[in-house]
Amino acid sequence: MIAAEHLNPERLQLSLKIAPVTLRKYVPGANLRSYVIGNLVYAAEICSAALDFHSDDEAKLIPIVFLEAMCHQAIAIARSLSAEWMSIDWRLTPAGDYLFIESNPNPSFIKFEQQTGFPITQALIELLT
């Protein structure tokens, strides 16, 4: 979350000298994560009280059935990045819109697999062999 002091021009210039900076508008809604593995898509809702669920060790992952159109979109994103597997984070707005947040070509997946029961490891083995 950005505070007013982060918008100081000198601080912004310093930040840009150190590393790339991405800013995006906060959008309320549910956090979703999907994994694309070949032509398979596994998805879960991430239940977390934290603003950034990545830092929440207590976050709970609930398996969901992704709409067919969203599966096609996830696979298209992976293919456009020449990836056979990746994770994609989404936001599901209260209006029912799915917003692409980010993709990760080298995601961790053990916690996702353990909490959802999705066979991520097996799907990766089959993809890579």
Q: pLDDT digits over 4-48, tens only?
A: 777 788 888 888 889 887 777 888 999 999 999 999 999 999 998
CA gap 64, 2 in Å, rounded: 31
Residue 79 lies in a domain: yes
How many CB atoms are located within 10 Å of the residue 70 CB? 19
Q: What's the pLDDT score for residue 31? A: 93
pLDDT digits (tens, 9 = 90+) for 54-93: 777 788 999 999 999 999 999 999 999 999 999 999 999 9
In a domain, 94, yes or no: yes
The count of domains in the chain is: 1
Structural domain including 34 reads: 27-128
pTM: 0.83
Quick one: how far is CA 98 from the chain centroid?
Answer: 12
Is residue 117 situated within a structural domain? yes
* The pLDDT value given to residue 19: 85
Question: Which CATH number do you get for residue 89?
Answer: 3.30.470.20
> Given pLDDT bands bounded at 50, 70 and 90, which one contains residue 95?
very high
Q: Is 119 exposed, middle or buried (0-12, 13-18, 19+ CB in 10 A)?
A: middle
Q: Does residue 77 lie within any of the structural domains? A: yes
